[in-house]
Amino acid sequence: MIPSPRHGPSRAWLPAILLTLLVVGAATASAAKVSNENREQLPPGCDAIAGEASAIVDAGRAYAEPFPGAVFSFSNRSFEWPACTRVTITLQNHDHIRHQFMVHDAFPEGFFQLEADSLDNVTGTFITGAFAKTMLAHCGIPQHQQMGMKAQVLVAGGIGTLPNILGISGLPAVDRGEVASPPTTNGPPQEQAAAPGLSVLTLLGGVAVLALLRHRMHG
């Protein structure tokens, strides 16, 4: 009796299939470390690449040590580049956990992100816009920004400074979870609070005097 042929791949092919899956998986994981990289597409208003710039961003616990209460930070927390500049950033992670360097409002996808695994580094490129603006840069891992991993990117001088950046700007009351006191009107608070009390006392005194006079007239 002749055995029927087996369907599906032979066992001899299984090692090759597994190896292919591993290679594809590794390539996908590596590509995911840089999100929305842009080396050529010009932002609106840029006629050409005006220049090249580069920066190394170190990330880890060591860079938060000068700031009481912070856990993580970047080696530099404020960056400034001219408009229409092609910027290449290398994120170097000095911790045993993942860290990110995400720049919001970076053309064309809305954000540019580098993600470095434990004790790893990754490099990516984006092009700054044509107009002055201040962009938020931070670590998108949950709670890492709140622990100190926040920075700013000034394009063409920027527009103001972002709050709550270690060593750069102060911490507003709203970021500390505190409720700001409501604005008061002109004048000392004591006088404003005392006025209604005086009016009530005067009214009660007048009523008492009228009652006493009426009692004497009919007594």
180 is a domain residue: no
175 is a domain residue: no
- The whole-model pTM stands at 0.66
Please provide the size of the chain in residues: 219
CB 56 within 8 A of CB 90: yes
Give per-residue pLDDT as tens, 95-134: 999 999 999 999 998 999 999 999 999 999 999 999 999 9
Q: In this structure, what DSSP letter does residue 64 have?
A: G
Domain total in the chain: 1
The CATH number that applies at residue 77 is 2.60.40.420
Neighbours of 157 (CB within 10 A): 11
* C-alpha to C-alpha distance for 11 and 179, rounded to whole angstroms: 68
Helix, strand and coil percent figures for the chain, each rounded to 5: 25, 30, 45
- Token output for 3: 């055995």
46 is a domain residue: yes
Per residue, what are the HEC states of 108-152?
A: CCEEEEEEECCCCEEEEEEECCCCCEEEEEECCCCCCCCCCCEEE
20 is a domain residue: no
* C-alpha to C-alpha distance for 153 and 103, rounded to whole angstroms: 8
Residue where the block lists tokens 């790893």: 120
14: pLDDT confidence band, cut at 50, 70 and 90? low
CB 43 within 8 A of CB 84: yes
Give per-residue pLDDT as tens, 125-174: 999 999 999 999 999 999 999 999 999 999 999 999 999 999 999 765 44
Task: Domain of residue 73: give its range.
Answer: 32-162
Q: Which runs of E-coded beta strand occur in the chain?
A: 34-35, 51-60, 73-74, 78-81, 85-93, 99-106, 110-116, 121-127, 133-138, 150-155
201 is a domain residue: no
155 is a domain residue: yes
Average pLDDT value for residue range 191-219:
53
Which residue type sits at 37? E
Evaluate the CA torsion angle 142, 144, 123, 163 in order and state its sign: positive
186: pLDDT confidence band, cut at 50, 70 and 90? very low
